[in-house]
Chain A
Amino acid sequence: MRKVFNKELLNIAKEDSRVFMILADIGYGEIEEFANTFPDRFINCGVAEQNMTGVACGVAMEGNIAITYSIANFPTLRCLEQIRNDVCYHNANVKIVIIGGGMAYGELGISHHSTEDIAIMRSLPNMVVLVPCDPVETAALTRMMMKYDGPVYFRCGYKGEPVIVERDFEAKLGGSSLIRDGKDATVFFAGTVGINAKKAVEELAAEGINCRLVSLYSIKPIDKDAIIAAARETGGIVVLEEHNIHGGVGSAVAEVLMDEGVGNVPFKRIAMPDVNATKVGCQAWMREQYGLGVADVVNAVRKMVKK
């Protein structure tokens, strides 16, 4: 997904001279073409994420589009106050792009996991939160993000992710991708963990349980209509995310259900438990260990449908 993002960004930057890339010494093997093609629109601030974010804000305040780019939680948590006070308060046109959302860098340990980011970013005024699930959504959301004037948090994946959304499409703020329709239950997800939701829904279909499968690629604003429709038209809602159970995608969906008066529906969040992930392993293995596996989704839906 990072290759897709960088390719799309490069194409956009060739057409739009307002695009700047502001780095904090991360991006080896991916950002060189941008740096070499647009040396006057590229700066490596060194290992200094607070400065990276402040510089990006200053660049954006002059009428440009500034991308900050790093891995996992580096461009969000270290520099959260710069994002809040500088970028969001000034509604600056800064795009905060992370590579490796969730536990993509699983083996590296929690310093390199991004598992609280959605809750934190969606609580900031003026911030849009986008979470692509595969290379197709990455391309579509990159194009949409760059057309939008204002702060965006873009939770990209890492590398080698399978395709979940089959066809290229035009993404919209507050939109979602309907991947499969069904009436028995709806499985919402956001991000690359969606591959487990897809496999689970296929397994459930084989046993006669037909689920609606939806990628909530826009967490803020969120697709309220899709959530309300799921509550009204299907037998229950399961939300899968690679994020702490508190404040993420499941919470966002639950908020809509309650606020819109359609909360009287079976509902289950499948997310990281509220613990520090101390186990060591790759992303797929870590998902299994922390309850985000295919079987976890299958079991949640089965239990819901049996009720």
Chain B
Amino acid sequence: MTAQELQKCRELAKKVRIHCLKMVCKGKSGHIGSMLSMADILPVIYTQILNVDPANPDKAERDRFILSKGHGGAALLATLAELGFFPLAWLDRYYCDNGKLSGHISHHIPGVEFSTGSLGHGLPVACGMAMAAKQAGKKHRIICMSSDGDLNEGSSWEAIMLAGQHHFDNLTMLVDYNRLQALGKSKDIIDLESLKEKLEIFGWRAVEVDGHDQQAVYEAMRDLPLCNGKPSAIIFHTVKGKGVSFMENDYKWHYGGLTPELCEKAIKEVEAVK
């Protein structure tokens, strides 16, 4: 990634964060911490990694991106709107009566591959897409974003076992691993450690990356699969609420509502980052 491309990713991440804060505040919704957590990753994969086209979102050879942590969907929606998949004005009506954008993402929106919201649904569907692509000899990649909570679900591990068993090396799981979930620290609820080792025991190749270092995100995803014959997992170490000091690493911002005053304060912090 060139310095210019990296700068564009930084600017896009900043815009995504500001959109999410405004959307959550205006819509009186929640999950802002989960959105900010992956706000640096999405701009890199959507501008540098995925083969997708805003003018032709359904093109057959597109890479498939499934956001299994659908509660953070506003970050994906903001990314898609900034890239021109649909009008930015739609974001203003997020979570509002007669708006197009619901709190959890829907495939009725251009650019959204699959609807999620209840956790544990993304990886099984991604496995099916991976199987179908292999059977048809197609070369597109299937990438699924998971999370701490998403990996509590048994169905996620059913899919992890299957992908390893059948060597789905066209499948990549990204983990937004911020180590917090709805009611507290993951290590106090369901400790996934050591996640990398667990995935490798199940037949995956896994790496750990700083999910807020966009150059590192790019480097990790540039040459997929990580290992021929194995599904790839990229565990992004992230900070829930990243970019807003009073939200960072505080699980109450999994659900927490945002007042206009706090929203303004948060936006100022995000804008101040160079």
Contacts and interface: CB of A to CB of B under 8 A. Distances in A.
Interface of A: 20, 22, 40-41, 43, 45-46, 48, 50-51, 53-64, 66, 81-82, 85-86, 89-90
A50 B158 contact: yes
Contact of A57 (B128, B130, B136, B158): B128
B171 to A, nearest CB: 10
Contacts of B199: none
A51 B158 contact: yes
Given A45-B158, A61-B114, A62-B133, A55 B125 contact: yes
Contact of B131 (A58, A63, A85, A89): A58
Interface of B: 107, 114-118, 120-121, 123-136, 154-155, 158-159, 161-162, 165-166
A48 B162 contact: yes
A55 B158 CA distance: 10
Given A50-B154, A50-B155, A54-B121, A59 B128 contact: yes
A58 B170 CA distance: 14
A190 to B, nearest CB: 31
26 contacts: A20-B131, A20-B132, A40-B134, A40-B135, A41-B135, A43-B131, A46-B158, A46-B165, A50-B124, A50-B154, A51-B127, A51-B159, A54-B125, A58-B124, A58-B127, A58-B132, A59-B129, A61-B132, A62-B133, A81-B118, A81-B121, A82-B121, A82-B124, A85-B115, A85-B116, A86-B121
A179 to B, nearest CB: 40
Contacts of A61: 114, 125, 128-129, 132
Q: Which of B117, B121, B123 gathers the greatest number of chain A CB atoms within 10 Å? A: B121
A40 B138 CA distance: 14
A66 B115 CA distance: 19
A62 B137 CA distance: 12
A82 B125 CA distance: 10
A82 B166 contact: no
A53 B120 CA distance: 12
Contacts of B115: 85, 89-90
B202 to A, nearest CB: 13
Contacts of B134: 40
| Interface SS of B by simple majority | helix
- Which are the 9 A-B pairs with shortest beta-carbon distances? A58-B128, A54-B124, A51-B158, A62-B132, A48-B158, A55-B128, A50-B155, A58-B125, A58-B129
A125 to B, nearest CB: 13
B105 to A, nearest CB: 12
A13 B117 CA distance: 34
B117 to A, nearest CB: 7
Given A50-B124, A50-B154, 14 more contacts: A50-B158, A54-B128, A55-B127, A55-B159, A55-B162, A58-B125, A58-B127, A58-B131, A59-B128, A61-B125, A62-B136, A81-B121, A82-B121, A85-B116
Contacts of B114: 61, 90
Contacts of A51: 124, 127, 155, 158-159, 162
Nearest to A64: B132
Q: Which of B120, B124, B130, B159 gathers the greatest number of chain A CB atoms within 10 Å? A: B124
A48 B162 CA distance: 10
A81 B125 CA distance: 13
A133 B125 CA distance: 33
Nearest to B161: A46
A48 B165 CA distance: 14
Q: Which of B128, B134, B162 gathers the greatest number of chain A CB atoms within 10 Å? A: B128
Contacts of B124: 50-51, 53-55, 57-58, 82, 86
Contacts of B127: 51, 54-55, 58
Contacts of B120: 50
Nearest to B128: A58
A89 B102 CA distance: 14
A78 to B, nearest CB: 10
Contacts of A82: 121, 124, 155
Contacts of A86: 121, 124-125
